[in-house]
Amino acid sequence: MADVTPLTTQCCIAGGGPAGLMLGFLLARAGVDVIVLEKHKDFLRDFRGDTIHPSTLTILQDLGLLEEFLKLPHDEISELSGDVYGTVVTLADFRHVPAPRPFLVLVPQWDFLDFIADHARRLPRFHLLMETKAERVVEENGRIVGVEVSQGERRFRIACDLLVAADGRHTTIRESAGLQVNDIGAPIDVLWFRVPRDAERHPSRTGGILRPGAMLVMLDRSSYWQCAFVIPKGSMDKLQAEGLQRFRERIAAVAPFLTPELQALASWDDIKLLGVQITDLPHWSRPGLLCIGDAAHAMSPVGGVGINLAIQDAVAAANLLADPLREGRLTTHDLERVQKRRRWAARVTQRAQVAVQDEVLSPVLARQDAPQAPPLAVRMLQRFPRLRRLPARLVGIGVRPERVETGPAHG
């Protein structure tokens, strides 16, 4: 095992996801020396959320990057619809949200991350180390002063004024720092897979399909469908025991037009399990350490808000910490301000997700037959179209949206 000379930086960020890359970019842009650690060799992973919401598009506009970003191949969603027991309904209308671009953008998350990373690499104070895993914190006299990392067989330390855990719900940094998380619980898991899309036979619609005992979410990717099939928590082993053909039949019963394309699911390797978690970290920080994104509050996939909430955390952290970091006067109080600013928004969002899971998803999965009429909330959305703006606002803008307040460094 080879040793490498230790590195030193003002801020080291564990995790090259949306929160970590955005925070690294914003801090480096403001003149803070930053190292971002990403354990994989690239950002190409299927199991990532792909929705960029109006709140994030507003942040990109703040940075002067929105028009360039929208030149990437993407789809724009102005309305979210659903097939509820055979009735197609509109659930959210984004055309009236207060944002420069009132729509959802569907784009592979690796394209978004590559876009942010490419711009960040142009900054002299930004450093991205790929295939570099954050292993554990380095602590001295009760303060986090760095992180032990690995690059293949090499091991070394990075000393820093601030270590940020942005390494997701399976964070190693949070655990090694001794921070305890509360598991709020989730009654569902999600199976994530893709099947080809036949443009002539298939509808062009992004949304969900509800049937007794089943829910399927389909994201239109032009040439393929990115699908999420909701299942009761812990039922994956039972599905596998029933066999792959039986699984294909379950999907075909929900979306019959997919029947020929489901043969593309050749093995269980083509189907990824997302063990849904909703967690809350009571204390986001210790001296020298801050947790953001899923490391601080793992979200359910309900509403697809996790990415955008993590980015809001990053923007708030940069707004509050850039000056203290750059000037060498960072305090524990500064870190606590980030949690004070963002935890309430995360908790409100999680409560809404829990309500949807408990009041909508669990009853749907437990049903054996279709109700005589769609749920009351769905009927109200159809009768009063203006009500569709409320779920659009909650999903597209969220609770306490952030704006970029840091400017580019001079000199």
35: pLDDT strictly greater than 80: yes
**Cβ atoms within 10 Å, residue 327:** 10
d(CA 196, CA 258): 9
116: pLDDT strictly greater than 60: yes
Q: State phi, psi for 312 to the nearest 5 degrees.
A: -60, -40
Q: Give me the pLDDT at residue 2, please.
A: 47
**Cβ atoms within 10 Å, residue 376:** 8
Task: Name 194's bridge partners.
Answer: 226
**Cβ atoms within 10 Å, residue 145:** 17
pTM to 2 decimals?
0.93
Q: Give me the mean pLDDT over the 239-258 stretch.
A: 94
DSSP 359: I
- Cβ neighbours of residue 241 closer than 8 Å, sequence gap 6 or more: none
Kindly report, residue by residue over 270-301, the tens digit of the pLDDT. Answer: 999 988 889 999 999 999 999 999 999 999 88
Q: State phi, psi for 242 to the nearest 5 degrees.
A: -75, -20
- Cβ neighbours of residue 377 closer than 8 Å, sequence gap 6 or more: none
DSSP 301: S
Distances (CA, A) of 288 to 160, 180, 332: 8, 17, 7
**204 — alpha (psi -120 to 50), left (phi > 0) or beta?**
beta
Q: Give me the pLDDT at residue 375, please.
A: 77
State the DSSP H helix or E strand holding residue 289, giving kind and residue range, or none if neither.
strand 289-291
46: pLDDT strictly greater than 60: no
Class of residue 382 by CB neighbours under 10 A (exposed 0-12, middle 13-18, buried 19+): middle
pLDDT band of 304, cuts 50, 70, 90: confident
Q: Give me the pLDDT at residue 374, please.
A: 76
Kindly report, residue by residue over 64-103, the tens digit of the pLDDT. Answer: 999 999 999 998 989 888 888 888 888 899 999 999 999 9
List, in sequence order, every beta strand (DSSP E) within 107-181.
Answer: 126-130, 133-140, 143-151, 154-165
Kindly report, residue by residue over 122-167, the tens digit of the pLDDT. Answer: 999 999 999 999 999 999 999 999 999 999 889 999 999 999 999 9
In one letter, which amino acid is 95? R
